[in-house]
């Protein structure tokens, strides 16, 4: 985690000017984690999307980005933040074995129905001793959804589960493994889990949840203008920032909706 509030504040405020509020809150938290992790070059951004997150979390640029979605990849090209951008699936990376010192994958693996082949490819393209950093929603994500909790409190458990399934579809979530589950997957792929932590409290998760319907106008603005916010001025975002700042500055919770992992490919003499 960063030693002071500088990155916390700058990351949140910058992302709030460029993204829907719920995404800005989540991405600001994740960007801070990478700031305190070593990046052995070259680096692959697995599931780079439009490249916006990398410009915040990795201001020095990255050597490679890979994504299966053509549209976001073309937007990433306009940012000139990657030396190489590749249109491919994570389960079939067109890179030589041991090509990268670090692989990062930010909120990507939960969207992949068959994730184990992707982890096997990560292990293949990583150099011995290289690091794999990734984050995903965990089992608490569904449990923390406020509407689901409210329906459960009313004993409407069927409706609560239907709501959670709807949110899964909206979020395109396929995997909600806990830490031991991810450790088993990593081990099977030939990777070692070094450490992990949780983030995003129930309150922060509720803010993200309600940000989805409240952020629908941003989708229209994006379609019409190519950017998420029509007026990204400080005065226009002051109330949103004030409402969310508490969650941006909260300490890591004992139980969080999301999980961040630091894994490593063993050196040959470690095996």
Residue 146's nearest CA partner among 164, 162, 168, 158 is 164
DSSP, collapsed to helix, strand or coil, labels residue 196 as strand
DSSP, collapsed to helix, strand or coil, labels residue 252 as coil
**Residue 94, pLDDT score:** 97
Strand order in the sheet with 62-67: 82-87, 62-67, 43-46, 100-106, 126-137, 258-264, 192-199
DSSP labels, 116-174: HHHHHHHHHHEEEEEEEEEEEE-THHHHH-HHHHHHHHTT-HHHHHHHHHHHHHHHT--
**Residue 30, pLDDT score:** 94
How far, CA to CA in Å, does 250 sit from each of 22, 143, 168, 245, 254? 15, 20, 25, 9, 12
Residue 145's nearest CA partner among 128, 161, 133, 134 is 161
Burial class (CB in 10 A: 0-12, 13-18, 19+), 4: exposed
**Residue 62, pLDDT score:** 98
pLDDT along the chain (271 residues), means of 10: 42 81 89 94 97 93 97 94 97 98 97 97 98 98 96 97 94 95 98 98 93 78 76 79 85 96 87 53
Partner residues linked to 135 by β-bridges:
106, 260
Q: Which residue has the tokens 């979605």?
A: 69
Residue 83's nearest CA partner among 36, 39, 27, 45 is 45
DSSP, collapsed to helix, strand or coil, labels residue 259 as strand
Name the pTM for this structure.
0.90
The domain 6-139+175-270 belongs to what CATH superfamily? Vaccinia Virus protein VP39 (3.40.50.150)
Q: Where are the domains of the chain?
A: 6-139+175-270, 140-174
């Amino acid at each position: 985690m960063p030693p002071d509030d500088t990155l916390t504040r700058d990351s949140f405020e910058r992302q709030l000017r460029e993204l829907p509020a719920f995404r800005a809150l989540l991405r600001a938290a994740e960007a801070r984690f990478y700031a305190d992790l070593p990046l052995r070059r070259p680096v692959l951004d697995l599931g780079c999307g439009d490249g916006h997150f990398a410009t915040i979390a990795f201001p020095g640029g990255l050597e490679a980005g890979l994504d299966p979605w053509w549209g976001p990849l073309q937007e990433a090209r306009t940012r000139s933040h990657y030396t190489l951008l590749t249109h491919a699936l994570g389960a079939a990376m067109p890179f030589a074995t041991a090509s990268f010192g670090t692989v990062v994958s930010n909120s990507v693996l939960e969207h992949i129905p068959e994730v184990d082949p992707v982890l096997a490819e990560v292990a293949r393209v990583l150099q011995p001793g290289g690091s794999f950093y990734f984050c995903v929603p965990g089992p608490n994500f569904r449990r923390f959804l406020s509407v689901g909790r409210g329906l459960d409190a009313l004993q409407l458990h069927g409706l609560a589960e239907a709501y959670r399934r709807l949110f899964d579809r909206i979020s395109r979530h396929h995997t909600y493994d806990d830490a031991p589950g991810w450790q088993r997957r990593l081990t099977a792929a030939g990777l070692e889990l070094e450490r992990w932590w949780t983030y995003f409290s129930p309150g922060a998760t509720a803010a993200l949840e309600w940000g989805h319907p409240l952020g629908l106008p941003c989708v229209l603005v994006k379609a019409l203008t190519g950017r998420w916010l029509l007026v990204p001025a400080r005065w226009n975002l002051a109330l949103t920032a004030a409402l969310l700042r508490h969650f941006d500055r909260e300490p890591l919770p004992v139980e969080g909706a999301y999980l961040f992992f630091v894994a490593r490919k063993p050196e040959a003499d470690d095996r």
